[in-house]
């Protein structure tokens, strides 16, 4: 009973900062005060439901995140295959180097990355931003993918090799279908990270037409003087829903530990 009460108090503290978001979204007269709207309406939602404000930025987010996840998954699957299937004295050092790479603070490399992008004339390029974002999550993805691949028994491929299938054919027809749930986890994991990423597109993408929702949301935040509180809240909710759903999808299947399986399994 004591534990229940203590836990409930903590839970209330965690929910409190989110109340404003939920209430302001349906309050056309929202400010920074948390109050039950006197005349709740969906006016804020209809105000932001326009091509320039919502759909274009969300489409950009989708394109960036899906692109990042695809590039990431392709590279990670290819890299994980030899690491999982063949014994080599390079495997261990490589895996530990990769693990080491997961701990580089990405905010610290943004200044040099900006410099690199200027030198290579890649600034404001969606494709280059996708490749960069894919690389920042690649170490984690390789690590997770290899762990998932290790759990597919090698015997299944050996039969295919006997029949003359190449390694890549065995990977495509036998290993990948068997680890589909694991691949889904890695894909969604990378997708969620890219979707929520603010700093990288903020630095690397300049034209408003290319900016994802994480960056365009800023136009509600006092850029033109007054803050459109209600619209900011409504937009935040619409922008957050996809990742909340994806997270729920993954955590239901994986018992909440999906995000940790890559980091905590040695």
Partner 1 sequence: MTIRRVLRLLPVVPSILLLLLFLVAPVAWSFYASFTNASLTGKAAQDPQWVGADNYARMFSDDSFPLSAWLTVVFVAASAVLGQNVLGLLIALLMTRSRKVVSSVVGTAVVAAWVLPEIVAAFAAYAYFNREGTLNQLAGIVGVDGVDWLYSFPLVAIILANTWRGTAFSMLVYRAALADVPRDISEAALMDGARGWQRLTFITLPLIRSSITTNLMLITLQTLAVFTLIWVMTAGGPANASTTLPVLAYQEAFKFGDIGYGTAVASVLILLGMVFGALYVRLLRERRP
With binding defined as CB under 8 A, does residue 206 bind partner 1?
A: no
Token couple for 115: 């410099």
Stretch near partner 1 under the rule CB under 8 A, chosen from 3-11, 41-49, 52-60, 177-185: 3-11
Contacts with 157 (C-beta within 8 Å, 6 or more apart), sequence order: 85, 170, 174, 175
With binding defined as CB under 8 A, does residue 19 bind partner 1?
A: yes
Return the number of the residue (56 or 136) whose C-beta is nearest partner 1.
136
Token couple for 262: 């890559």
Per-residue string for binding with partner 1, 40-69, x by CB under 8 A?
------------------------------
Per-residue string for binding with partner 1, 152-191, x by CB under 8 A?
---------------xx-----------------------
**Binding residue for partner 1, selected from 62, 66, 106, 123, defined by CB under 8 A:** 106
Mark residue 9 as left, alpha or beta (left: phi above 0; alpha: psi -120 to 50; beta: remaining): alpha
Token couple for 37: 């709207």
With binding defined as CB under 8 A, does residue 99 bind partner 1?
A: yes
Stretch near partner 1 under the rule CB under 8 A, chosen from 39-47, 86-94, 150-158, 183-191: 86-94
Handedness of CA 193, 197, 203, 209 (dihedral sign): positive
Q: Rounded to the nearest whole angstrom, what is the least distance from the CB of residue 220 to partner 1 in the complex?
A: 9
Neighbour count for residue 93 (Cβ, 10 Å): 10
Closest C-alpha among 230, 180, 221 to residue 202: 221
Residue labelled with tokens 């889904």: 184
With binding defined as CB under 8 A, does residue 8 bind partner 1?
A: yes
> Distance between CA 159 and CA 23 in Å, rounded?
60
With binding defined as CB under 8 A, does residue 217 bind partner 1?
A: yes
Residues 236-265 within binding reach of partner 1 (CB under 8 A): 236, 239-240, 243-244, 247, 251, 256-257, 259-260, 263-264
User: In 113-134, which positions are buried (b, 16+ CB within 10 angstroms) versus exposed (e)?
Assistant: beeebeeeebbebbebbbbbbb
> Distance between CA 226 and CA 32 in Å, rounded?
12
Residue 121 phi/psi, 5° resolution? 55, 45
Stretch near partner 1 under the rule CB under 8 A, chosen from 4-12, 39-47, 52-60, 182-190: 4-12
Q: Rounded to the nearest whole angstrom, what is the least distance from the CB of residue 13 to partner 1 in the complex?
A: 8
**Binding residue for partner 1, selected from 132, 148, 189, 191, defined by CB under 8 A:** 132
**Binding residue for partner 1, selected from 58, 79, 179, 188, defined by CB under 8 A:** 79
Contact 100, 34 (CB under 8 A): no
Q: Rounded to the nearest whole angstrom, what is the least distance from the CB of residue 22 to partner 1 in the complex?
A: 10
With binding defined as CB under 8 A, does residue 204 bind partner 1?
A: no
């Amino acid at each position: 009973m004591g534990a229940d009460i203590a836990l409930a108090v903590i839970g209330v503290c965690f929910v409190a900062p989110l109340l404003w978001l939920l209430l302001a979204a349906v309050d056309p007269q929202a400010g920074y005060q948390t109050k039950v709207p006197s005349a709740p309406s969906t006016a804020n939602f209809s105000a932001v439901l326009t091509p320039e404000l919502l759909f274009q930025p969300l489409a950009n987010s989708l394109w960036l995140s899906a692109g990042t996840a695809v590039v990431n998954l392709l590279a990670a699957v290819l890299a994980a295959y030899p690491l999982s299937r063949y014994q080599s004295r390079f495997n261990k050092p490589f895996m530990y180097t990769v693990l080491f790479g997961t701990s580089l603070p990405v905010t610290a490399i943004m200044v040099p990355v900006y410099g690199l992008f200027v030198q290579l004339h890649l600034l404001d390029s969606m494709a280059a931003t996708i490749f960069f974002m894919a690389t920042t999550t690649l170490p984690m993805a390789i690590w997770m993918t290899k762990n998932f691949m290790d759990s597919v028994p090698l015997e299944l491929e050996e039969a295919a090799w006997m029949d003359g299938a190449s390694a890549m054919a065995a990977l495509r027809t036998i290993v990948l279908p068997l680890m589909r749930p694991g691949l889904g986890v890695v894909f969604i994991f990378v997708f969620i990270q890219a979707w929520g990423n603010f700093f990288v597109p903020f630095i690397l993408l300049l034209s408003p037409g290319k900016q994802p929702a994480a960056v365009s949301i800023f136009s509600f935040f006092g850029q033109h003087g007054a803050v459109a509180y209600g619209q900011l809240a409504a937009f935040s909710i619409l922008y957050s829903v996809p990742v909340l759903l994806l997270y729920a999808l993954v955590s239901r299947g994986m018992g909440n530990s999906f995000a940790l399986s890559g980091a905590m399994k040695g």
